[in-house]
Structure 1
């Protein structure tokens, strides 16, 4: 029987109290409480929780080593699991395989063996998924606010724009010719002109490179489903 610890921190979260060192201290403290003399640690640093644990570099190595009778300790539910569904499926699989999972939220005994802990595990899984959704919403809201202020929040650069600067100072700069070409494209497509003909006309009229795929993309942006 072996005892393992798993640590994960994303780039965004590295400074919000979930540092690898804090997680490892908590894991080793729980291990000592259960009489484990040695804990083999696996840490995914700068890895998003949007993927399942066995699809992460160190997480995959950990899952491959787990055997019947082993104990896995995680400082917090959302360090290991992608969402509520992932958590529940993984819990059932490990229980069936005879692998004990101990969470920092329930350090006294494995959630794979205690009925009360399993009930709270389900509740925590739902809250972890909710928190992940809220983080994504805040991130998207921040990007939208930055774009509204003329900044560049990452992602694809809109047609007719280029990025000036780096990081927090990055801003979108409009190209007047390309913006005019975009207007022509929208008008031509609304009039029924083909993709290729529209691309050729916009390029000739405004002196910018336009592909028929670009025309298709602009049309979708102008007329979202």
Structure 2
């Protein structure tokens, strides 16, 4: 059985005493001694962001490669080792399946044994679900914000529009949607006919005869509802 310790500090946190490597080493040594063990090797990631999963960190990857059944790992805090609850949940299950014990001081001790394990896994599962929902919400909100600003965020280009290259507020390359001069007469005609009371199918037929362009019924309906806001 091998006993390991794992510590991590990000670039910003290296000067903060509460998260310093010396503090983490001291904490881990004390926790290990309270369990009747002594850490044989410390794996340390310096200046590594917590957004990186354990396997993508130099020391984290070395730790995972060194682990064998029966080994024990000590870490001061959940966020020192994992990037989020979902990552923690997956990795902890891997540890359990492999027969590796993980002690996290801020989570009450052995999170892979029979003590606080069930509670920890229940909490992490709930937090992981919340994180997934919040990420989905943020992505949707950001997409709506970009679309409102005229940005092209991928997918099908709306009829009557074209994609052009430009720069965002920070001067970074970006893509935008703008009216397509070649399609603009068709869009104007569609809106005019709809305003005059023509049905969607009648507009489709008229536009095809006049411009040689068959516009989808759904597109005509959408353009009609946009009015002059476009």
What TM-score results when the alignment is normalised by the length of structure 2? 0.53
Any idea what SS the aligned residue of 1:101 has?
strand
CA distance in 2 between counterparts of 1:87 and 1:65 reads: 19
- 70, 73, 78: which one aligns with 2:72: 70
Q: 1:34 maps to what in 2?
A: 31
- Structure 2 regions of 5+ residues with no counterpart? 33-38, 188-199, 205-211, 223-230
- 175, 178, 186: which one aligns with 1:174: 178
Q: 1:105 maps to what in 2?
A: 106
Q: Report the Cα offset of residue 64 of structure 1.
A: 1.9
Q: 1:156 maps to what in 2?
A: 154
Contact 2:101 2:112 in 1 (8 A): yes
Aligned positions, number: 184
Per the alignment, do residues 109 and 81 of structure 1 end up closer, same or farther by CA in structure 2, a change over 3 Å counting? same
What TM-score results when the alignment is normalised by the length of structure 1? 0.54
Per the alignment, do residues 168 and 118 of structure 1 end up closer, same or farther by CA in structure 2, a change over 3 Å counting? farther
Please give the residue correspondences for 1:1-225 in structure 2 after superposition, counting only pairs within 5 Å: 1-5=2-6, 7=8, 25=21, 27-35=24-32, 36=39, 38-42=41-45, 45=48, 53-54=54-55, 56=56, 58=58, 59-68=60-69, 69-73=71-75, 75-76=77-78, 80=82, 84=86, 87-88=88-89, 90-103=91-104, 105-106=106-107, 108-148=108-148, 150-152=149-151, 155-156=153-154, 159=157, 160-166=162-168, 168=170, 170=174, 172-177=176-181, 180=184
Describe the superposition over 1:98-132 as per-residue Cα deviations: whole angstroms up to 9, x where unpaired.
322233531x4221124234313321332133124
Per the alignment, do residues 134 and 181 of structure 1 end up closer, same or farther by CA in structure 2, a change over 3 Å counting? farther
Contact 2:77 2:106 in 1 (8 A): yes
